[in-house]
Structure 1
Amino acid sequence: MSKIIVRSTTITPREITTKTGTKMVFREQAAAILKDGEDFPHPFRLTLDDSQAPYPAGEYQVDASSYSVGRFDNLEIGRRVVLVPIVAAPPVPAATTR
């Protein structure tokens, strides 16, 4: 399974001007995806909602709510990707001998 890595809670605003002259501000957070079978992660930017807190540092997977089936039956990922933490399995206690 591929995983998303977040290392910093820094939010970077990105401002654009639309064709109509309206200014829009996007809030972005740096992340990276580590694909199965690859040695190095690929950096990308997560776009956050206006009031959304940044994701804490950690490892995540993409939530199923981020996917949809498009108009021509293509798999699509929405504009806002939702991440869920990857919870580490609890350690297995060592067997005791008697």
Structure 2
Amino acid sequence: MPRIHVKDTKVHERTFTGKDGKPQIIREQRAAVDTGDGYELPFRVGLGPVGAVHPVGTYDIAPECFSLGKYGDLELSRYVKLVPIAAPAPALSK
């Protein structure tokens, strides 16, 4: 199962002028998907105008982010929702 790794909490912001002439801002956080072959693929997670920053950790993609496209292709929603994966509890020593 692919895992998403967030390695820092830095938010990247880009500002531009929208079609209506008003300033727009895009907030993103960088993450990487580990497909299990030892190589990570970096990508951007859109945070929206007021979205919370994801803490450093390992995540899954929420099931509601997946959908089928017009021709039956698997698609991801524009704003990917990340679900934290609970770290395994440390083993109790005897």
Which TM-score band applies after superposition, normalised by the shorter structure? 0.7 to 0.9
Residues 50 and 19 (structure 1 numbering): CA distance in 2 closer, same or farther, change over 3 Å? closer
| Deviation of 1:72 (Å) | 2.5
Residues 52 and 19 (structure 1 numbering): CA distance in 2 closer, same or farther, change over 3 Å? closer
Whole-Å separation in 2 of the counterparts to 1:80 and 1:44: 12
2:79 aligns with 80
State the AA in 1 paired with 2:65.
S
| Deviation of 1:20 (Å) | 6.0
Structure number, greater radius of gyration: 1
* RMSD between aligned residues: 2.1
Structure 2 gaps of 5+ residues are: none
1:29 aligns with 29
- Name the SS for the 1:90 alignment partner: coil
Structure 1 gaps of 5+ residues are: none
TM-score, normalised with respect to structure 1: 0.80
- Name the SS for the 1:16 alignment partner: strand
State the AA in 2 paired with 1:2.
P
What's the % identity of the aligned pairs? 35
- Name the SS for the 2:51 alignment partner: coil
